[in-house]
Amino acid sequence: MGFDLPGLLAARRDQGYELHARHLNPQLPRMLHAIGFDRVYERGEGCYLYDRDGSRYLDYLSGFGVFGVGRNHPVVRRALHDVLDGGLADMAQFDCALLPGLLAEQLLAKAPGLDRVYFCNSGTEAVEAALKFARYATGRSRIVYCDRGYHGLTVGSLSVNGSAEFRRGFDPLLADTGIPLGSLDALEAELRKGDVAALIVEPIQGKGVQAAPPGFLTAARTMLHDHGALLICDEVQTGLGRTGRFFGYQHEAVIPDIISVAKALSGGFVPVGATLAKDWIFEKVYSSMDRVLVHDSTFGANASAMAAGLACLAVIEDEQLVSNAERTGKALQDALKDMAQDYELLADVRGRGLMLGLEFTKPRSLKLRAGWNMLQAARHGLFAQMVVVALFQQHHILTQVAGDHMEVIKLLPPLTIGDAEVKQFCDAFATVMDEAHRGTGLMWDFGRTLVKQAVIR
């Protein structure tokens, strides 16, 4: 039997949802049908997706942040073709291949003060390495994390997850402790106990899009070092230019001890992760030849991921995507902040660069209260879901609610967007907000459907 991928895709193009319902997580197709997101996408290019009917969708989700350079970037594709066509001696394992060395060299050049890199295959693995390295290097066991923090869903990363809904039912996890984001007092109280290896923190939290208050990372790092503990910045979502700096922590004059990187690093083509740390930490973990494989991953430094990573860094540089994220992000944020004055349901516009959160709140006017209360009685977060659905169905813009039980939507477009995509989003959002503030119409009808589903669940 030969293998013909295009033939296979053409022959079974309608069966994705059915196959998922039968063989994979059954809740995914159910959820997508319920909110009317059940499209069949066939192509992606730059900041757009195209469905099987040829309709175009503006992608303000970027595959949860992996398409920083946009979908199917030709430079990254070329690099991957070169890897395959070159028939490289990939993963010989007992060799020192060139590509991981080159990618490490380039990543470290973006993170002055950090010295070494461990490569793996995902964000959660990059975090697992960070947690293990911090524990081994300090000889202590406890990690402090921030409420609402999200660092992945394997057991170690889940132990530092700040949302009960992810943790519930998977206990016992590792003994770790949550503190409010930005609370130096709470951090100090934990550090005084003497058993803390590190604080792990996202410069901007993915859930809810809350940034650590200005100066927090710098003050926390000093406090952590005073108590013999380390600062881990999780840059899985904020890294690679997303916030208008190459790494999110670089909005402050602070050098963390360890950072975790993943998502956008390979341009969205190949799973990849990286843990960057100071030399002394690597020297401790890999302290003798006996310990050479004490933390390792079979696929970690594979040629496809490394080549895609190098190509992706070249694109970020050549297309000046970090400064583009800062500039377009500011334009988008300013435009949305202007709108907030006209819309009582829109409480806050926050974030940095092209990682923005829009938070909705209880309306003051009686006309809107009944609808809002109906949604809240069923489930906190349904209004935000209603906005996401309206943006998608009426305007073909893909966004997401920023977390469970949150009235916040998150904007995470490719860093390549320009003024046209900023305007397209703002015009659509204004139309959706106008309809929401009328208190009637299709959007509210759909809100009632969401309420029924929430009640049934």
Ligand X SMILES: Cc1ncc(COP(=O)(O)O)c(C=O)c1O
Residues lying near ligand X in the complex (CB under 6 A) are found at 64, 122-124, 127, 150-152, 202, 206, 234, 236-237, 262
Residues 6+ apart with CB under 8 A from 258: 130, 133, 134, 198, 230, 231, 232, 233, 275, 276, 277, 278, 281
**Which ranges of 24-149 would DSSP assign to H, the alpha helix?**
27-34, 62-65, 74-86, 98-109, 123-138
Check: CB of residue 202 under 8 Å from CB of residue 237. yes
Q: Rounded to the nearest whole angstrom, what is the least distance from the CB of residue 150 to ligand X in the complex? A: 5
Q: Rounded to the nearest whole angstrom, what is the least distance from the CB of residue 340 to ligand X in the complex? A: 26
Q: Which two tokens stand for residue 445?
A: 């009808």
Nearer to ligand X, 242 or 396 (CB): 242
Sheet harboring 346-352: ordered strands across?
Answer: 346-352, 355-360, 408-411, 400-401
Q: Residue type at 111?
A: A
Q: Which residue is nearest to ligand X (CB)?
A: 123
Q: Rounded to the nearest whole angstrom, what is the least distance from the CB of residue 157 to ligand X in the complex? A: 7
Nearer to ligand X, 62 or 363 (CB): 62
Q: Rounded to the nearest whole angstrom, what is the least distance from the CB of residue 438 to ligand X in the complex? A: 35
Burial string for 97-121 (b: 16+ CB within 10 Å, else e) reads bebbeebbeebeebbeebbbbbbbb
Q: Rounded to the nearest whole angstrom, what is the least distance from the CB of residue 14 to ligand X in the complex? A: 29
DSSP 407-427: SEEEE---TT--HHHHHHHHH
Nearer to ligand X, 336 or 355 (CB): 355
Query: Taken in order 296, 300, 303, 308, is the CA torsion positive or negative?
Result: negative
Nearer to ligand X, 368 or 412 (CB): 412
Nearer to ligand X, 273 or 363 (CB): 273
Query: Taken in order 110, 415, 49, 206, is the CA torsion positive or negative?
Result: positive
Nearer to ligand X, 62 or 138 (CB): 62
Q: Rounded to the nearest whole angstrom, what is the least distance from the CB of residue 236 to ligand X in the complex? A: 3
Q: Rounded to the nearest whole angstrom, what is the least distance from the CB of residue 122 to ligand X in the complex? A: 4
Q: Rounded to the nearest whole angstrom, what is the least distance from the CB of residue 120 to ligand X in the complex? A: 10
Distance (Å) of CA 47 to CA 60, 61, 63, 274:
8, 9, 11, 25
How far apart are the C-alpha atoms of 141 and 156, rounded to whole Å? 12
How far apart are the C-alpha atoms of 91 and 81, rounded to whole Å? 17
Rg of the chain over Cα atoms, rounded to whole angstroms, equals 23
**In angstroms, how far is CA 212 from the centroid of its own chain?**
16
How far apart are the C-alpha atoms of 197 and 209, rounded to whole Å? 26
SS3 for 457?
A: coil
Q: Rounded to the nearest whole angstrom, what is the least distance from the CB of residue 125 to ligand X in the complex? A: 7
